[in-house]
Structure 1
Amino acid sequence: MDKLLKSISYVFHPLIMPIAGVVFYFAKSPRFIPLDIITAKLVSLFILTVLLPLLLFLLLKIIGKVQSIHLSTAKQRVLPLMLNCVILLLVIQKVVTPSQSVELYFFFVGILISNMSCMALALFNFKASIHMIGVNGLVMFFIALSIHYSININGTLAIMAIVIGAVATSRLHMKAHNNVELITGALIGLIPQLILVPYWL
């Protein structure tokens, strides 16, 4: 059980959440989007939102700025979150512009706001759960898309509810966060996506 709970934190790592949202969008969108465009978007976003942050993390670890991928202290979070905000700005300006996909554009704007909020709290030595930010922001995007396209995703939402519970349990089991940090993370992930929904729904 210990290994299972620890593995959940890696399987549902926050870095995976943006690309998961993009895959869900392309899978559910009723619009015709050429396969080569989908492939190009997925590859570029995977490089920018997964591979690049991992490479930057390794660099920060080598120079002694961080100790683990879970960023266990508030102080260690500030620089990685700042770099991730820069990456997200690049994504918004170059990869998911509103003229190409307004849904993905505001999805990533919401992610950027969540990152900036988490970074601001880290500056005040508060460690909101980035895992909960990622998974709750993703679920809110799923709900908004289901309303936007009038599709039934009850099965997906049921699975995501289990995932949220599993992630929260994993973070508590690993003593990475307390209840307040988990709830704060959930709100930071959910609220920006919710606020931005009227701009594209």
Structure 2
Amino acid sequence: MTDKFLKSLSFIFHPLFMPLLGVIFYFSKTPRFVAPDVVKAKLISLFILTILLPILLYFFLKVLGKVKSFYLTTTKERVYPLLLNCIINLIIIQRILPPTESIELYFFFLGILISSMTCLMLAIMKFKASIHLIGISGLTMFFIALSVHFSINIVGTLSVMTLVLGAVATSRLHVKAHVAVELVVGFFIGVLPQLILIPYWL
């Protein structure tokens, strides 16, 4: 039972879901009025770009023989998916979430782009940082920044995120997807870009 639970965490808290979760959380907490139609359009666009498109591109890369499994177990398999993810995030910050519309989300995705580029460079250098930890730690840092920015109390949410972060790290170790140093590096790759960019919008 414990084995299945730990393995399931890797799917439930997959990195693909983290950007969209950040946007949903932002729209649920922002004190600014945003027309429901605008919110809906943004969420649909981001769902397509951050979840559906990467899945379709994965199957395309698999057909081409560039990746072998959904887990991207080797650094070589990670290069093309990470490169495409960088391009997708660049499109998002230029077309979907420009700074003139939402400065917070713009810098959130800019941080994601920096994290993805860093992870890509490390993959090229044969180092496999944990993308799961990058996603969750970056999202948690964004939540913390929003709580300060909007002066809201989200202690419960942050407590849950901390537990999830620890559980996912345990899961990745349990399935032998990473060693400890790869998890630690992934954590900092996720947190630091968000932290460094905070002064530009907070």
User: Which interval holds the TM-score relative to the shorter structure?
Assistant: over 0.9
Is it true that 1:107 corresponds to 2:108 in the alignment? Answer: yes
What residue in structure 2 maps to residue 117 of structure 1?
A: 118
What residue in structure 1 maps to residue 199 of structure 2?
A: 198
Determine helix, strand or coil for the equivalent of 1:15: helix
| Deviation readout 1:88-145 (Å, 9 max, x if unpaired) | 0100100000000000000000000000000000011000000000000000000000
Name the Cα RMSD after superposition.
Answer: 0.5
In the alignment, the residues of structure 2 paired with residue 80 and residue 41 of structure 1 have an alpha-carbon distance, to the nearest angstrom, of 23
1:61 deviation in Å? Answer: 1.2
Most deviating of 64-73 and 50-59: 64-73
| Deviation readout 1:25-76 (Å, 9 max, x if unpaired) | 0000000111000000000000001100000001111221112222111111
1:17 deviation in Å? Answer: 0.2
Map residues 1-201 of structure 1 onto 2, 5 A cutoff: 1-201=2-202
The amino acid of 2:101's aligned partner reads: Q
In the alignment, the residues of structure 2 paired with residue 131 and residue 61 of structure 1 have an alpha-carbon distance, to the nearest angstrom, of 21
In the alignment, the residues of structure 1 paired with residue 11 and residue 26 of structure 2 have an alpha-carbon distance, to the nearest angstrom, of 23
Q: TM-score, normalised by structure 1?
A: 0.99
Determine helix, strand or coil for the equivalent of 1:152: coil
Determine helix, strand or coil for the equivalent of 2:121: helix
Determine helix, strand or coil for the equivalent of 1:52: helix
In the alignment, the residues of structure 1 paired with residue 167 and residue 28 of structure 2 have an alpha-carbon distance, to the nearest angstrom, of 25
Q: Which runs of 4+ in 1 moved over 3 A?
A: none
Stretches of structure 1 that go unaligned for 5 or more consecutive residues are none
The amino acid of 2:177's aligned partner reads: A
Most deviating of 28-37 and 67-76: 67-76
Determine helix, strand or coil for the equivalent of 1:105: helix
1:170 deviation in Å? Answer: 0.6
In the alignment, the residues of structure 1 paired with residue 172 and residue 108 of structure 2 have an alpha-carbon distance, to the nearest angstrom, of 25
Q: TM-score, normalised by structure 2?
A: 0.99
In the alignment, the residues of structure 2 paired with residue 48 and residue 7 of structure 1 have an alpha-carbon distance, to the nearest angstrom, of 24
In the alignment, the residues of structure 1 paired with residue 180 and residue 56 of structure 2 have an alpha-carbon distance, to the nearest angstrom, of 31
The amino acid of 1:195's aligned partner reads: I
Aligned residue pairs total 201
